[in-house]
Amino acid sequence: MTNQIQQTNYDKTKLKPKIIHLGFGAFHRAHQALYTDELARKTDSDWGYCEINLMRGEQVIQQLNAQQLQYCVLEKGAEGNTARIINSVCEAIFSKSVGAAAVLEKMAEPQIAIVSLTVTEKGYCVDPITGKLDLNNPQIQPDLTQPDNPSSAIGYIVRALALRNARPLPPFSVMSCDNVMENGHIAKSAVLGLAKQLDAELADWIAQNVTFPCTMVDRIVPAANEETLQEIAEILGYYDPCAVACEEFKQWVIEDDFVASRPQWELVGAELVEDVRPFEQMKLRMLNGSHSFLAYLGYFGGYQHISDTMQDADYRQAALKLMLKEQVPTLSMPDGIDLSGYADLLIERFTNPSLKHRTWQIAMDGSQKLPPRLLESISLHLKNHTAFPLLALAVAGWMRYVSGIDENQQPIEVRDP
Ligand code: NAI
Ligand code: CS2
């Protein structure tokens, strides 16, 4: 196994913070920030990030600032590992350290063309069934009464757009990169839902002037633990607390619907398309649906990681069968997409023993994750009178899991809003 280090090859001063990203978590570091870094490596792109963490994630922002806004992504391949130094971040702030007014001023800077998000499924504060903003959500409630001092991601976006409209400045595009079906439409529904409560004219302006491209995002990026960070430190020769490890595979399908300009991500492998829906459905049902199946059933089987479940032929076969027999029939894909090959590739990716992706991590937030992964397919099976034993088993696994007691009568640390 070889380890390579890919150092940065450009001067960061050529970049401008033209994208605000909300949610500097593990995934964004190894996905959108890496694509944008690759673009700066290969072209004269001047697109850089201003990273903002809201509510949580103060420490990683401090650590990133302390290391000149560079960090490492370790890509773990079958042949070897590549430690890539990512340099696409120009600024990083934690909302509570600087205050809401300073964050809003950043979002209202004239050069900001895109606000992207990875704030987890629950960050949109929508009812998972209706897709509409939940006005009773505890994150949204304070934003209804104090809109100029927001706390939710949606509250920040609405207030920043209000500032841009008032100044007047051009709007930005809002690009969700979360595992939410029709994530752009959900982001739009949440933003308009809040704006309508605050100012009907603003809501109209947003509806007419802001775009919310949908995206399908894919790369398995487990939360980094001390073992991961030590492994990366051995390769780099120094300790990087912001580093993450991930698989080699990555995919990004983006609806080409930006109101201002955008980076030419297609030059570094992203697919810019008219309609992302089929790709989102394929990925959420086949990859994430079987991930959740393996997470709940694997947890009860005593398996700590997804790769451990893949060592058990029963689990492996069940995951493949769930994909091919119960999810594929619910999909309608453009010509040329080989779903059986896709399923085989997913099993291969899940098997990667160097990715320590905890079943417990994937089991988190099931109430938000299950609708696009399992329940929409179940609805279709019910309508068509077709069988769905494995989807039902996955839901049963979730029910059993949220009861909070495992097979040995031990408590489960359930995390779910
Ligand atoms: P993470 O836990 O490392 O990061 C989550 C980020 O979201 C943090 O910056 C946190 O501050 C922020 N956040 C959490 N709740 C929030 C809220 N209510 N409002 C505002 N910000 C909030 O998680 P990770 O791995 O980065 O994943 C984030 C999301 O990215 C996932 O939920 C999923 O939708 C998507 N994703 C993750 C992949 C992965 O393999 N990790 C792959 C594909 C998509
Ligand atoms: C996982 C996803 O945590 C989860 O729920 O199913 O984060 C998964 O790793 C990604 O969607 C892969 O792209």
For residue 221, the ligand 2 atom closest to its alpha carbon is 9
The Cα angle at residue 341 between residues 338 and 345, in degrees rounded to 5: 135
- Residue 281 burial (10 A CB sphere; 0-12, 13-18, 19+): buried
Question: Does a cis peptide bond (omega within 30 degrees of 0) precede residue 168?
Answer: yes
219 ligand 2 Cβ < 6 A: yes
Question: The dihedral of CA 106, 117, 92, 14: what is its sign?
Answer: negative
For residue 369, the ligand 2 atom closest to its alpha carbon is 5
Check if the beta carbon of residue 187 is closer than 8 Å to that of residue 210: no
56 ligand 1 Cβ < 6 A: yes
Residue 311 tokens read as 């060592």
Check if the beta carbon of residue 155 is closer than 8 Å to that of residue 140: yes
Record the pTM.
0.98
pLDDT of residue 292: 98
Element housing 143 (H / E): helix 141-145
Residue 219 tokens read as 């790369």
**Residue 162's closest CA among 130, 203, 110?**
203
Half-sphere exposure (Cβ direction) of 35: Cα atoms closer than 13 Å: 23
Q: What is the pLDDT along the chain (417 residues), one digit of tens a residue?
A: 799 999 999 999 999 999 999 999 999 999 999 999 999 999 999 999 999 999 899 999 999 999 999 999 999 987 899 999 999 999 999 999 999 999 999 999 999 999 999 999 999 999 977 889 999 999 999 999 999 999 999 999 999 999 999 999 999 999 999 999 999 999 999 999 999 999 999 999 999 999 999 999 999 999 999 999 999 999 999 999 999 999 999 999 999 999 999 999 999 999 999 999 999 999 999 999 999 999 999 999 999 999 999 999 999 999 999 999 999 999 999 999 999 999 999 999 999 999 999 999 999 999 999 999 999 999 999 999 999 999 999 999 999 999 999 999 999 999 998
Cα 409 → chain centroid: 33
Residue 113 CA to residue 213 CA, distance in Å, equals 13
pLDDT of residue 396: 98
Residue 306 CA to residue 125 CA, distance in Å, equals 28
Check if the beta carbon of residue 227 is closer than 8 Å to that of residue 356: yes
Cα 228 → chain centroid: 20
Residue 222 Cα to ligand 2 middle (Å): 8
Find where tokens 């979002």 sit. 107
**Residue 325's closest CA among 365, 381, 245?**
381
Which residues pair with residue 173 across a beta bridge?
114
Most ligand 2 atoms within 8 A of CB, residue of 252, 287, 342 to mutate: 287
For residue 291, the ligand 2 atom closest to its alpha carbon is 6
Find where tokens 């060592």 sit. 311
Residue 377 CA to residue 393 CA, distance in Å, equals 13
250 ligand 1 Cβ < 6 A: no
C-alpha torsion angle, residues 300, 302, 308, 310 (rounded to 10): -40
289 ligand 1 Cβ < 6 A: no
From the CA of 25, the nearest ligand is 1
